[in-house]
Amino acid sequence: MRRPTHELDCGNSGTTMRLVAGLASSSPFETVLRGDASLAARPMERVAKPLRAMGADVTTEDGHPPLTIRGAELRGIRFEPEVPSAQVKSAVLLAALAAEGTTTVAERIPTRDHTERLFVALGAPIRSDGADLVLEGPFQHEGLRGVIPGDPSSAAFLLGAAALTRGNITIIGVSLNPTRLRFLDVLGRMGLEVEIDVEGSELGEPFGSMHLAPGGALRPVHVDAN
């Protein structure tokens, strides 16, 4: 019997494509994920490979979209990303929710941790073991209600614009996740001081406001990979 096929146009969002790939890897139907011309050039084998190891049938076109995913019964794996990627890590963890056994993600370089924070808030059996993330599956959470804070990466552009114009800006309702705020260290080295005020937490994510007051002359800095 032929499986039903569901298609999703992810536009230019590699994040959407990789996360949905993790969710679809255990579904009892075929999923085809497409995108625009820019997304068609993005590498997708880095997410397809671990999902295959978990038991899903995932195909790409020479390593690029579209992705065709035929879900299956999944098993836990130990995954050591070759390239640091929060998107790939999250895809594996989303698949692990439906997998039998233990899934371990061993990151050499820590990446942003939105997914882990959300899982903890929902009661998922996930824990840190040194540099490893360990999830015992399968796990099904209950229904939830939550608010997604504003994106710190988008806030960075507004802070940069205010700094260039010697302006004054306060951004409210933005995520203050520490794994997303290293750019504030760079701004500080440039002579700018951004005040942050944590006002609460939403599904494990601290949120609040960022405030930049008019400053003096900007200093040049060197920003390396670290």
Q: Catalytic amino acids? A: 224
Structure tokens at 62: 């020479």
- What's the CA gap between 128 and 107, in Å, rounded? 11
Residues 6+ apart with CB under 8 A from 58: 21, 25, 48, 51, 52, 67, 68, 69, 70
Q: How far is CA 123 from CA 80, 90, 143, in A?
A: 24, 16, 12
Q: What are phi and psi of 33, to 5 degrees?
A: -110, 120
The answer to whether the CB of 158 falls within 8 A of the CB of 141 is no
Angle at 155 between CA 117 and CA 133, to 5 degrees: 20
List of long-range contacts for 139-147, beta carbons under 8 Å, 24+ apart: 139/97, 140/97, 144/203, 146/202, 146/203, 147/202
Strand, coil or helix: what is 35? coil
Task: Confirm if 169 and 194 have CB atoms less than 8 A apart.
Answer: no
Please name the residue that has the structure tokens 């997708």: 44
Which residues lie across from 169 on neighbouring strands? 212
